[in-house]
Amino acid sequence: MQKNITFVCISDTHGLLNPSSVKPTITLPQGDVLIHCGDFTNCGELDGIKKFKQWLIQQPFKYKILIAGNHDLTLDNIKYPKYLKDPQLQAEIKDLQNQCIYLLNSSCVVEGYKIWGSPYSLEFCNWGFELFPKDAQKFWSQIEEGSDIVVTHGPSYGHGDYVNNAGHVGDKELLNRIKQIKAKYHLFGHIHEGYGITEEDGIKFANCSLLDEYYKVTNGPIVFQLPSKLQQEN
């Protein structure tokens, strides 16, 4: 009998996942794979990383997949190399990454599904992991062929990317690449007011932001199932 794999997807929790809270701010449903699409801290602060790591350790998922976001700027060693000189911070970041599958323009395989992840999003207010539009086509070409699920912090153009007074702010080159490789899902966050699922060309696009544009918890996790590709034992 084929087993279904349950994916529980969240993003943009901004330091609210605190394991010491008497009443949990966010409660997750049961599942097999937890995916966080970035911005788990407010600005990559040491205390925020510690609390998120402690929370993550407590989550009873078989697989825990994590990318950073533009707010997790202390993890951006290219733009902010000064943070590499802080041994306590770097030790905490490394320990966090050891508690999960941390994707940095890289992939993993879970239950037969290839998942590719990146923290980058289009330039915005000089935060971390910025991608300039002129570099986007070349950058997103590294998304691997055969990727079933693409996890990025920022959205594709036209999907969960609408901002009042700014319109659609998603990445057109990212959309083109995802359509080119025919991924099953694109999971992301970044645009808090874009929460929800849309579909194009048979691909599901899910903005998993739990916080709204006022940084209030108003949304629930995005949950979906896929049949395991692994051969089941008799």
The structural domains of the chain, ordered by start, are 4-227 (3.60.21.10)
The mean per-residue pLDDT over the stretch 119-138 comes to 96
pLDDT in tens, 162-212: 998 889 999 999 999 999 999 999 999 999 999 999 999 999 999 999 999
Instruction: Convert the pLDDT of each residue in 49-69 to its tens digit.
Output: 999 999 999 999 999 999 999
Which pTM value belongs to this model?
0.96
Q: What is the DSSP string of 145-206?
A: TT-SEEEESSPBTTSS-EETTTEE--BHHHHHHHHHHT-SEEEE-S-GGG-EEEEETTEEEE
Question: pLDDT at position 233, please?
Answer: 42
Q: Are 17 and 232 in contact (CB under 8 A)?
A: no
Is residue 23's pLDDT more than 70?
no
Encoding tokens for residue 187? 């999971």
Average pLDDT over all residues of the chain: 95
